[in-house]
Amino acid sequence: MNKSPLLGLTLSELETLVRNLAMPAFTAKQIASWLYDKKIGSIDEMTNLSLKHRALLNAEYEVGLSDPVESVQSVDGTIKYLYRIAPDYFVEAVYIPDADRATLCVSSQVGCKMSCKFCMTGRQGFSANLSANQILNQIHSLPEVDKLTNIVFMGMGEPMNNLDEVLKTLDILTASYGYSWSPKRITVSTVGIRKTFRRFLDESNCHLAISIHSPFSSQRSELMPAERAYSIMDMIDVLRDYDFSKQRRLSFEYIVFKGVNDSLIYAKELVKILRGIDCRVNLIRFHAIPDSNLDGADMETILAFRDYLTSHGLFATVRASRGEDIFAACGMLSTLKKNSSKDD
């Protein structure tokens, strides 16, 4: 019999679970502590639960952990982990150590519906939403979990297309019964989904990153088809109603493509459309993907772009490129693994 996972259940769900099993109400908090604070791997390790109650849990439930099936390490210390979701489904999590920071980039879906021109995950198409258990497992089962300082939802998938499970995961990560992380240590990235964008802003205090990549709607729609359904200007209008100065940070992610969006015309337009919003722009070097006519701009061009933004009042940074030798770009390793598993 397939057992249901405990990892990924909120305190409210654990309270319902113990009530249904006729266990004392206080055991819900005990189970949450074992799962999220002590990070145990089996129900039998929950030693302050009676043998009878552990047996009740074991009959229908398991902690619900699975180790990575593969990992590759870059010369710069970045490690990409591959997790199996189903026989032919894989997702990636990327561990990025950097001085006193250690960031984990997690996935929220198997594949993606967004079909961004520059993203390998988009070429996979959409296969499945990840459950809170499967998202948290990327964190909980990480060998370096105790070193983590930050988590970013910038891996495979569009978080706003799986918002119920993403919000549930964020609740467990930030709640006192869960991992007790500050929302300021977590960033959720999105291309912008009309139906769920406002809901995320209202229900979460985590940092928000908008993938923009062009300030011009016609060009952005070529790079990112989601622009046709929910334009960047619509998102910016919504964002003006929210205060990002204290509770959380707002950033715009901008991959700089050679000869596509790297001239100062684009920098000027970014300054124009983002004027008055408390935000930053993260400029990103492009990780090349197979069979793409896109190429990354050179560093001199990127730095000139940054300097223009900064000199005109728009705070900008250049994100260091990490893990290029291990297919760290989103979707690269999982695509290879998916294709190889089909050939076996």
Task: Give the pLDDT band of residue 239 (cuts 50, 70, 90).
Answer: very high
Domain annotation for the chain: domains and CATH numbers: 4-62 (1.10.150.530), 70-343 (3.20.20.70)
Rounded to whole angstroms, the Cα distance separating 32 from 9 reads 8
User: Is 112 a known active-site residue?
Assistant: no
Task: Check residue 247 and give its pLDDT.
Answer: 75
Write down the mean pLDDT value for the chain.
93
Q: Which residues make beta-bridge pairs with 52?
A: none
Q: How far apart are CA 41 and CA 51, in angstroms?
A: 17
Candidate list 60, 62, 92, 222, residue with the active-site label: 92
* Positions of E strands within 87-181: 89-98, 101-105, 109-111, 126-129, 150-153
Q: Is 330 a catalytic residue?
A: yes
**314: Cβ–Cβ under 8 A, 6 or more apart, which residues?**
270, 271, 274, 275, 279, 280, 281
Checking if the pLDDT of 326 tops 80, the result is: no
* pLDDT at residue 323 is higher than 80: no
pLDDT at residue 206 tops 60: yes
Q: What pLDDT shows up at residue 339?
A: 59
Q: What would the pLDDT profile of 87-144 be if each residue is shown by its tens digit?
A: 989 999 999 999 899 999 999 999 999 999 999 998 889 999 999 999 999 999 999 9
The answer to whether residues 96 and 104 touch, using CB atoms and an 8 Å cutoff, is: yes
Query: What is residue 300's three-state secondary structure?
Result: helix
Number of residues written out for the chain: 344
In the chain, which residue ranges form alpha helices assigned H by DSSP?
A: 11-20, 27-32, 51-60, 120-124, 132-140, 163-174, 194-203, 217-223, 232-239, 264-274, 299-311, 332-343
Whole-number Å distance between alpha carbons of 114 and 329: 16
The pLDDT confidence band at residue 30, using thresholds 50, 70 and 90, is very high
Is pLDDT larger for residue 216 or for residue 343?
Answer: 216
Residue 223 pLDDT: 97
Q: HSE, CB side, 13 Å, CA atoms: give it for residue 205.
A: 12
DSSP letter, residue 196: H
Of 112, 119, 206, 330, the active-site residue reads: 330
Q: Whole-prediction pTM value?
A: 0.93
Cβ–Cβ under 8 Å, residues 32 and 177? yes
Mean pLDDT of all residues in 265-269:
98
Q: Is the dihedral of CA 111, 119, 274, 320 positive or negative?
A: positive
For 46-74, how does the pLDDT look when each residue is reduced to its tens digit (9 = 90+)? 999 999 999 999 999 999 999 999 999 99
| pLDDT at residue number 260 | 97
At residue 138, the pLDDT reads 98
In the chain, the amino acid numbered 173 is: L
pLDDT, position 338 = 60
